[in-house]
Amino acid sequence: MEQVNLNEGSYAFVLAQVALLNCEVAGMQAENQHRMNCGLAIAYGSDEFAGVRQQYEGLIGSNEILQMARG
């Protein structure tokens, strides 16, 4: 695996985006759990979780991080 060195600004950007992604997923998981506790169907399935991943792929996917390191 190639070692990647990011400058401070790029590193902070990646960490911030990862934090946002985690918050979004945690909110979706919490909503699903709440709905299950109430006897309702879940609000978010695998397609919605995959959509979140795809949303962030263009910002912090492996190709983008490599471009940050090279540029």
User: Is there a contact between 17 and 25 (Cβ–Cβ < 8 Å)?
Assistant: no
Q: 2-59 pLDDT, tens per residue?
A: 687 899 999 999 999 999 999 999 999 999 999 999 999 999 999 999 999 999 999 9
End-to-end alpha-carbon separation of the chain, Å?
19
Whether 16 maps to a domain, the answer reads: yes
- Nearest CA to 70 among 14, 7, 1? 7
pLDDT of 67 reads: 92
Residue 64 is inside which H or E element, if any? helix 62-70
Query: What is the span of the domain harbouring residue 21?
Result: 8-70
Q: What is the pLDDT at residue 35?
A: 98
Q: What CA–CA distances, in Å, run from 58 to 38, 43, 44? A: 36, 25, 22
- How many domains is the chain built from? 1
Residue 1 domain-assigned? no
Q: Is the dihedral of CA 60, 64, 69, 71 positive or negative?
A: negative
